[in-house]
Amino acid sequence: CGFASKNEQQLINERQTLLSENLSLAYRTPLKIVRGKSVYLYSESGERYLDMVNNVCHVGHCHPHVVSAGQKQMTLLNTNTRYLHDNIIQFAKKLTATMPAKLSVCMFVNSGSEANELAIRLARAHTQRKAMVVVEGAYHGNSNACIDISPYKFDGPGGNGAPDWVKQTIVPDPYYGRYQGSDEKIGEQYALDVQRVVNEFAAENNPVAAFICESIQGVGGQIVHPQGYLQQVYRIIRQAGGVCIADEVQVGMGRVGTHWWAFQTQAVIPDIVTIGKPIGNGHPLAAVVTTSEIARSFVSGMEYFNTFGGNPVSCAIGLAVMEVIENEKLMANALSVGDYLKQGLKALGEKFSIIGDVRGTGLFIGAEFVIDRKTKAPAAEQLAYVIEEMKACGILLSTEGPRHNVLKIKPPMVFSRDDAEHFLLTLAEVLSKL
């Protein structure tokens, strides 16, 4: 399975002419996936892959409850949001019920980028300011403003650097960062850097409007913030008159196991929460949840309209996703299987020194691959080899982080202990061949 078939090669060629050439594909030899079920993806030629990296199909590929909720509503009505409908209200009630009480107003959109774009507008409307603090290495979406707040993009290939309304704070990375460790003291030291950025903005007469950060950093390298980091940062931002945005596009919807939202693991309450990928189980659905005060600031004369956001089908699907999470106790599953995976990876780390660090919460896990544990030199090439070998063994994984050396694990929430065991045994075999 290391070569593209004739048909696959033709699709690759046609993508290059019919689609934008920089539309990203996974794997050296791209896969042609034609069917998905639960934690499995099936290629056209009939190979079955264990999907360990898909945080979009959150409750499992093509979950029957979600599929039938969408089908049922599609036979009745799908239209824009200018009519009264029960689904949007039911969904907003169910979603806000999972949040701290002050996060009480929902706005439905169609992608994580759109959610963050709207969050920026809300923050600007509320503060009447523009300046934003972002974390090094972060990614928040593909629109113009989202690229402007994504160092991963504006400092990466083809990027043009930060605009004058955006400044970066250092990444609070307990493994590679300026301060190493995860305790409260370290959290405080990193938060001081946010104070530095806030002060810089103030000195430029450009006071801060908002801080945006993933509650656990995904694109930045599966980084779990040091204790108290977000608490300290939120305090600093609010003191300066800004608002705090939690990007839960990757880590929300119960993935962390202990809570619905990853910000709850840091004991903070954001002013604006953005939700994407998992909320629609693959259907393009996303949301912004905010306080009534911020929502009121946005109602400043200009009408807000979103053609597709919150349509009856999307809301039926979103509701069904939440029902599956509850009915199948998927948060408890994420916690127990996630712990089992982490323990297993740590045990492998005792045998294979290339695994330098294992971290994460629930089914959001990262393993740092290093050539040498003392120097922490990243083992990016070796990890790329491992990912390809695992694929050849029928397991889909991917890399993450600025050094491309973090093994990223975020499977559908129905990932079982047996799946975890199969993964650990296969990984041990692949590592022993390195």
Determine which residue in the list 49, 91, 108, 139 makes contact with ligand PMP, applying CB under 6 A. 139
DSSP conformation letters of 45-66:
TS-EEEE-S-SSSTT-BT-HHH
**396 close to 48: Cβ distance less than 8 angstroms:** no
Q: Which residues contact 128 (CB under 8 A, 6 or more apart)?
A: none
Q: Which is nearer to ligand PMP, 113 or 297 (CB)?
A: 113
Query: Taking CB under 6 A as the rule, does residue 113 contact ligand PMP?
Result: yes
DSSP state, 78?
-
CB of 359 within 8 A of CB of 371? no
Name the residue whose CB lies closest to ligand PMP: 112
In the chain, how long is the greatest CA-to-CA distance?
Answer: 64
Q: Which stretch binds ligand PMP (CB under 6 A): 64-72, 136-144, 177-185, 390-398?
A: 136-144
Distance in Å, CB of 147 to ligand PMP, minimum: 11
Q: Which residues contact 291 (CB under 8 A, 6 or more apart)?
A: 102, 103, 104, 105, 271, 272
Among the listed residues 132, 219, 245, 370, the single contact to ligand PMP using CB under 6 A: 219
Residue closer to ligand PMP by CB (options 310, 356) is 310
User: Using CB under 6 A, which of 87, 169, 250, 405 touches ligand PMP?
Assistant: 250
Region of 202-210, 214-222, 260-268, 426-434 interacting with ligand PMP (CB under 6 A): 214-222
Amino acid at 261: W
Amino acid at 138: A
Position 137 contacts ligand PMP (CB under 6 A): no
The answer to whether 115 and 288 are in contact (CB under 8 A) is yes
Classify residue 302 as exposed, middle or buried by CB count within 10 Å of its CB (0-12, 13-18, 19+). exposed
Q: From CA 60, how far away is CA 78, in angstroms rounded? A: 24
Q: How does 38-48 read in b/e, with b if 16+ C-beta sit within 10 Å?
A: bbbbebeeeee
* Residues 184/213, Cβ–Cβ less than 8 Å: no
336 binds ligand PMP (CB under 6 A): no
Distance of CA 364 to the CA centre of its chain: 9
Residue 187 touching ligand PMP (CB under 6 A): no
Kindly tell me which residue out of 174, 220, 257, 276 binds ligand PMP, with binding defined by CB under 6 A.
276
Q: What residues contact residue 20 under an 8 Å CB cut-off, 6+ apart? A: none
> Least distance in Å: CB of 115 to ligand PMP?
7
Contact status: 112 vs ligand PMP (CB under 6 A): yes
CA dist 146 to 149, 202, 222, Å?
5, 23, 20
140 is a contact residue toward ligand PMP (CB under 6 A)? yes
Q: Decide: is 54 part of the binding site for ligand PMP (CB under 6 A).
A: no
- Within 222-329, residue ranges assigned H as helices are 229-239, 292-298, 312-327
220 touching ligand PMP, by CB under 6 A: no
Q: How far is the CB of 114 from ligand PMP (least distance, A)?
A: 7
Is 247 one of the binding residues for ligand PMP (CB under 6 A)?
Answer: yes
Applying the rule CB under 6 A, the residues between 69 and 108 that interact with ligand PMP are none
> Closest distance between ligand PMP and the C-beta of residue 72, in Å?
25
Q: Does 141 bind ligand PMP (CB under 6 A)?
A: yes
* 401: contact with ligand PMP by CB under 6 A: no
Q: The tokens of 84 are what?
A: 């009264």
Our finding on whether 142 is near ligand PMP (CB under 6 A) is: yes
Return the range that interacts with ligand PMP (CB under 6 A); candidates 8-16, 84-92, 227-235, 243-251. 243-251
Parallel, antiparallel, or unpaired: how do β-strands 208-214 and 131-135 relate?
parallel
Nearer to ligand PMP, 140 or 408 (CB): 140
Nearer to ligand PMP, 219 or 413 (CB): 219
Beta-carbon contacts of residue 24 (< 8 Å; ≥ 6 apart): none
Question: Total binding residues for ligand PMP by CB under 6 A?
Answer: 16
Q: Among 39, 119, 194, 249, which residue sits at the site for ligand PMP (rule: CB under 6 A)?
A: 249
Binding test (CB under 6 A) with ligand PMP, winner from 73, 111, 266, 405: 111
Contact residues: ligand PMP, CB under 6 A: 111-113, 116, 139-142, 214, 218-219, 247, 249-250, 276-277
